Every structure is written in structure tokens, then in C-alpha cells.
Amino acid sequence: MNDGIAVVGIGNMGLGMALRLRDRGFAVRARDIDPAREALARSEGLAVCASPAEAATGARCAIVAVVDAAQTEAVLFGDGGLASALPRGAAVLLCPTIAPHDTERFAAGLAAAGLAPIDAPMSGGPVRARDGTMSLMVACAGAAYERHRDVIEALSSAVFRLGERPGDGARMKLVNNLLAGINLAGAAEVLALAERAGLDGGLALDVIERSSGQSWIASDRMRRALAGDLAPRAHTTLLNKDTHLALDMARRLGMGVPVGENAAALFARACESGFAALDDASLLELLRRR
């Protein structure tokens, strides 16, 4: 079977995925709009192409790991896009966190072009993308899943098969990321409170990690924030986008999510306050200043 894989979008997650596949024996070609990311990919030994179409030529599968729906549409159907170059029957893994109706629209366009859409958002951060332990939420036709099972299982040891309806991967990712945003906002708030009360923030996090308040994202982000490390692994803009996408999904379903609304408002405030390009651990600094 052809082992050619195109990876378009080699940010923190995309690069980890590309290197993981390369190390598992796949022939990976990469593309990004950021020359710095392409230079980093080259330094890691990846082949870098001038367009998504060039990366996709002759490939059995393409992975889209860009930021939002607008970028996804451009990568798929714009000039030099994937759909114009992938062989018929090739698969496209849609990995960005986007609205379910956008995923459905892209899946329909890919199917019309003779391609196999795989709705496959991922979660876990760049380290887990690199070592294959991130989670992957997959919705696609059974035949597409079986044909590309080797790629999917190389990417993730925690694959959740959600069925065949396009958009269910996106729905599940928004459910997850809304809770991630709630947990992170809550952790930042209580650590700011602990410090205001005269407690040591690091010791407070030690207690939380071994008690009922523990969450993975709190430990991951707040350790860095307490150390003053706000270098972006996941920009604050991303959870701002994702929590608001989840709120939109809830509105379309006629459901109120008041805790999620408060968390989303906090991410929006962080972006407005100059933290947009920093790691989302920056919520602690924002709340310290309140």
C-alpha cells in the first residue's frame, strides 16, 4: 500500500504528528504557510512542499492540522488545494477544532471529489502528538476507517470510534474542549485566590493534584504558569475560539451552558488584555491582576 502522507499545517500539533508518522515508516511531505515552521520541519528531516497540492500528489492520505474553518477550506478547495491533487479514493483526516456544520460541509465536498473524509479532531498537546498518546476522535465510513487504520493507529494509541456521521468528531471535540476551558479557567482562578490568601501557589497545586480538584489541564498549564513560563504550546486564542464554538453548538441545540459561558468570557478577556499570543496558562497572570 502507498505509504505517502501529506501533512498540511505543521504547528505544534501538526509537526508532532508528522514526525510520529515519519518515525513509523510513512513517507511524509509537509506544508505550512509559516516559513519558520517549514524551516523547523526541514531541520527535523521532513520533506517540505510549496503547496498542499504538491504535498498531496500521489499520497494515499492527507492530514489537515490548521487552525480554523477558513484555513481548512483554503487548504482543501483553494488554489493549489488538496482536493485538486489527491488520487481518487485517498482519505483526508480533518483534525482542526471547527464547528460541526463546517465539518459536514467539508466532508460533503471531499466526497463529491471522490475522496474519503475522516472527521478526526485530536487532543493532548504536542508532546503526546509526537509520542502517539494523544486522543483521536474519529467519525467516518467504516471502509475508510479500515483502509487507513494503520495511519490512524500510528497517530494515536487512544482512538475513539464515534460512528459514521461526519461532524460527530467535531461535536465530541467541542464537548471536550469546553470542559478543558472550564477546568483551566477554574484552576487559574483558585490558584490566584490561594495566592491572595497568602498561600504558596505551588503547594496549593500539589494539594489539588492529589485531591478532588485535580485535572490534567490544571497540572499541565499551572505548573508552567507558576514558573513564569508562558511560551506558547497552545495559544490563548485557541481555547477562546474553541469555547465559543462550543457555545454556538449549544445555542443551536437550544441549551444553556452558563459555566461554559463564564469560562469563554474569561478567554476572550485574556485575548483582549494582551495574552492572545501567549500560552493559555496566561489565565493565571490575568486573574492575578484582577
Residues assigned a catalytic role: 173
DSSP 133-170: -SEEEEB--HHHHHHTHHHHHHH-SEEEE--S-TTHHH
Residue 35 CA to residue 264 CA, distance in Å, equals: 31
Buried b / exposed e along 175-196 (16+ C-beta atoms within 10 A):
ebbbbbbbbbbbbbbbbbebbe
Using CA atoms, how far apart are residues 120 and 151, in angstroms rounded to an integer?
Answer: 12
The answer to whether 133 touches 124, Cβ cutoff 8 Å, is: yes
Strand segments (E) across the chain? 4-8, 27-31, 47-48, 61-64, 91-94, 116-119, 122-123, 135-138, 158-161
153: amino acid identity, one letter: E
8 A C-beta contact, residue 121 and residue 180: no
CA–CA distances in Å: residue 16 to residues 54, 167, 193? 21, 24, 35
